[in-house]
Structure 1
């Protein structure tokens, strides 16, 4: 026969206080002396009592959850390991605190804006992570209007009251182009992300600048939605031209891996006939053939930094920006000296 479940009443009886005082002590609310709070928490731990999340939410008017709203096609999201890695980093911070992550995947920006309003009106989250920043991002003033604490993943190009987790994409892209040029490449193309997203446009600008600084003419760029299918299509278009590039810089790893597949399908040798590079260094880039040269960014570190920063913001009312180390080039087998520069 199982032992009876310990309740808040048992803790209160053992401590010789009211149930209300136990609740106040647990939720660090005023009206409890430091000595009483410590004693109540020690008794609760000894008895093995922890309040239900529902009970804590009702007593504190908090949801004990943070939100992440992503406006992408679920199929595109499913093929890109960046977000699972980022979420894993966030969870390493939230889980020990007894907090949950509420994930909403929505089809478009209009639905995304409605979702933020709904999360606040329903009291489902205490703060949010703002990813996939856009030019003059309308979500920033919306979240400010809603009074919802937020952390931006990336540095906005407009005024923002929220702390940001920033990783400079520019050095990694520039280093990639310089490496390809040092190998003898002169016809270098770029498969870019969406120009509506700041990180997509920043990576393309870094690519253009690096070519210009190397004294090379502007390279061909194809804009995509960051999806595997779009990456494969772009690679096919580039590699079936009369004068194809000898190297292609992809804006993320899934597209680069798709490009590897297209090159093999067309009978091209990588890196002899075409060099291919990616961005992010997702886990399986080292296991494709040849292993992918890419830029390492560690999205799980972004998640951990974002989680800690948002918790600090909620607890203290302020938190500093966090600048993480820039991505660095990881050289593997998919980039080499061109046979025909």
Structure 2
């Protein structure tokens, strides 16, 4: 059979009516167990698969989820979080016969148009909302559009959408305690933008942990891009020797890797002259030299849980917030004792 098998083909091979095949394959009542089993076996043997377009006409489903991302494409192409996150999404979507509709936009107006167009054309059954903003207008917009959604993190505005959260407090506090335990007294943070809730949260958690350790830590804001991460590193390394950090905690792993490159280009040895950490837990951090100390964030897990939660919501389950396991510290080769401690103990 060169064409795609249809339920007519299944009915002919099984020796039953087309209507009975439809009932059996859609798990509806009116078919005895033996006949249902035979129909499913015939369908599998001849390679029948449900037609998403036909199913969509029947039950008004798109069998697709939407992900609208408003970031500079330069940031997306070098950020391993999104690749791993999308792979996690696709793991669940492919298993459940769904697809991902991805729209990369450059500004607020384009972002709003993307949401409105995807909803108006019924191209998606729900949205995955990432990079939550302070006072995020997308929450009200999607609610007004009457579409399901799941958010990565908890919005700071009223929402009826389930949120998927990870507690970074244990990991960031553990990280700062670890660096202090190595002997670091000058620790800086290259932070993400304050407008993004997760950038603000990581910055605040770092500040709290530094305060508990009795440190007056420098913080340099960026847009999360490697370019601004590199520029922030230059700024910190240009400080007078007595003010220069001996350890830098970056708001994401791509900035940390860019910072390592800047430091090494200036002749600094990592971690002997400078300790460097990220916060994303991306796999690329294992492949650089020295391997990057970071947090156990697991972007693929984010994707799997988000996709499963949103699909369950679309299928009619009650919205439920989900908490991932707290982020923990992963110690690798990019951190060590500061130069002063090395000389003291040598």
TM-score, length basis structure 1:
0.92
In structure 1, the residue corresponding to 2:339 is in which secondary structure? coil
Cα distance in 1 for residues equivalent to 2:71 and 2:26: 37
- Any stretches of 5+ residues in structure 2 without a counterpart? 342-346
Partner of 1:160: 159
Match of 1:9 in 2: 8
The residue aligned with 2:64 is 65
Q: Is the 8 A contact 1:65 1:126 kept in 2?
A: yes
Mapped to 1, the partners of 2:26 and 2:112 lie a distance apart of 32
1:13-66, Cα deviation, whole Å (9 max, x unpaired)? 5453345x64465445x7x52538936544433443224322222333211111
1:261 to 1:38, Cα distance in 2 relative to 1, 3 A:
same
**SS in structure 1 at match of 2:119:** helix
Q: What is the alpha-carbon distance in structure 2 between the residues aligned to residue 183 and residue 278 of structure 1? A: 17
Q: Which residue of 1 aligns with 2:249?
A: 249
Distance 1:289 1:44, change over 3 A: closer
User: How many Å separate the matches in 1 of 2:88 and 2:228?
Assistant: 28
User: Is structure 2 residue 30 aligned with structure 1 residue 33?
Assistant: yes
User: In the alignment, is residue 330 of structure 1 matched against residue 342 of structure 2?
Assistant: no
Name the Cα RMSD after superposition: 2.0
Whether the 8 Å contact between 2:7 and 2:18 is mirrored in structure 1 is no
Q: Determine whether 1:221 maps to 2:219.
A: yes
The aligned counterpart of 2:270 is: 270
Look up the SS of the partner of 1:190 in the other structure.
strand
Which position in structure 2 is the counterpart of 1:286? 286
Q: 1:178-189 alignment to 2 at 5 Å? A: 178-189=177-188
The unaligned stretches of length 5 or more in structure 1 are: none
Deviation at 1:5, TM superposition (A): 4.9
Report Cα offsets for 1:207-227 as digits up to 9, x if no partner: 11011111222x111111111
Which residues in structure 2 correspond to 1:122-133 (within 5 Å)? Answer: 122-133=121-132
Match runs of 1:99-110 below 5 Å: 99-110=98-109
Shift of 1:241: 1.4
Distance 2:112 2:302 in 1: 24
Q: Does the CA contact (< 8 Å) of 2:23 and 2:30 recur in 1?
A: no
Aligned residues: 336
- Secondary structure of 1:340's counterpart equals helix
Secondary structure in 2 matching 1:249: strand
Distance 2:149 2:41 in 1: 34
State the TM-score, normalized to the length of structure 2: 0.91
